[in-house]
Amino acid sequence: MRALVDSDVLIAVMDGGEAQSAASKDLLDAATKGAFTVLITPLIAANVMYALRRKWRTTRPRTWEQDINEVMVAMLSSVRMIPVDERDFLASMASGFKDKEDGIQHFAALRHGKVDAIITCNAKDYRTSTLPVYEPHAFLGSMLS
């Protein structure tokens, strides 16, 4: 099983204060144990880095830069990255996705061809997806049981 994991799931794990942090952590723990392969795009990695920077600059004033570098290196060593290109942007712009960034992720996953599902904390944002979409707790309950 190979799943594209959206940035909100990764942020929930790294920040720890999100509503789905516990389920997201359990999800990544399952991936670490080999239950499935986590796929991300460069855009997801950039979104995670940006969100952590905004949050940690004030909560970790002395160490935020080093902390972000460490978690990003750790994250990148435990996931596989799939490419995004102009076709994904154009497909998203022409699609019914209200959140065009989510559309870009969806079309990158489709074009890659080896993605079984998308995991996100906001499944409603992927209503028009042609791939199965799960929130972390639902993926853990149905796909990994």
Q: What is the mean pLDDT of residues 113-131?
A: 94
Multiple choice CATH, 2-143, 3.40.50.300, 3.40.50.150, 3.40.50.1010, 3.10.20.30: 3.40.50.1010
Express each pLDDT in 32-82 by its tens digit. 999 999 999 999 999 999 998 888 888 888 888 888 899 899 989 999 999
> What's the pLDDT at 133?
96
Residue carrying structure tokens 């993605």: 115
What pLDDT band is residue 144 in, cutting at 50, 70 and 90?
low
pLDDT at residue 16 greater than cutoff 90 = no
Q: Is 83 helix (H, G, I), strand (E, B) or coil?
A: coil
**134 phi, psi to nearest 5 deg:** -130, 150
Domains of the chain, by residue range, sit at 2-143
